Amino acid sequence: MASKNRGTERISEAPRVPLRVHPEGRSRMRLLNAIRDAAVAGYGARLVSLAVFGSYARGTDGPGSDIDLLAVVNQLPAQRWDRWAEWDKVEAEIPKRLNGAVPLPLAPIVTSPEAITAGSLILLDLTEDAILLHDPSGFLAGRLTRLRNRLHELGARRVWLDGDRWYWDLKPDYRPGEVFELWPE
């Protein structure tokens, strides 16, 4: 895990340890388990993968933070509002599983396996920050591993500015006119 005074970090091939020690470890795990259990109950076998990422996963969240989630779901409704209606049912179950309110707002991205396979820029951050809550087939873990390896091949790095702000330098030795593929097949 990077320190608060981050600079430039190169992508490594070393396996990532998904859970970090945090002073509120048990309550955080209880919350993540409640989110996972509600999503599994709500989507059933359609739930391919569920991950938490961002500051909550890094353990750098603060009072103004939210909990970033990526839910990969088969057979999503075509209309965005119908997708949100499904998620709203999942989210309504979480406080019941906690016997109280969720301490931070949830910020879900609900998408399909096809969209993940096609490539999404949000996956860049997940290569470094994801905690997989549900991934029984290894779908998301596999996509993140392939992308992490490709980023390593390119010499990509996440450049931290301050606090929780960064950008990605995907190919530091890029030359104008050069074409490169980011999303491995």
Domains, the chain, ordered by start: 23-137 (3.30.460.10)
Sheet holding 157-162, edge to edge: 8-10, 157-162, 165-169
Partners of 132 in the beta sheet? 51
148 vs 160: CA distance, rounded Å: 18
In the numeric block, the tokens 């029984």 are attached to 136
Least confident of 16-30, 56-70, 81-95: 16-30
Q: What distances in angstroms separate CA 28 from CA 103, 146, 175, one per listed residue?
A: 10, 29, 44
Q: Residue 15 pLDDT > 70, yes or no? A: no
* Rounded CA Rg of the chain: 17
Burial class (CB in 10 A: 0-12, 13-18, 19+), 16: middle
Three-class DSSP category at 73: strand
In the numeric block, the tokens 């490709």 are attached to 150
> What pLDDT score was predicted for residue 4?
38
Stronger pLDDT, 62 or 23, i.e. the higher one: 62
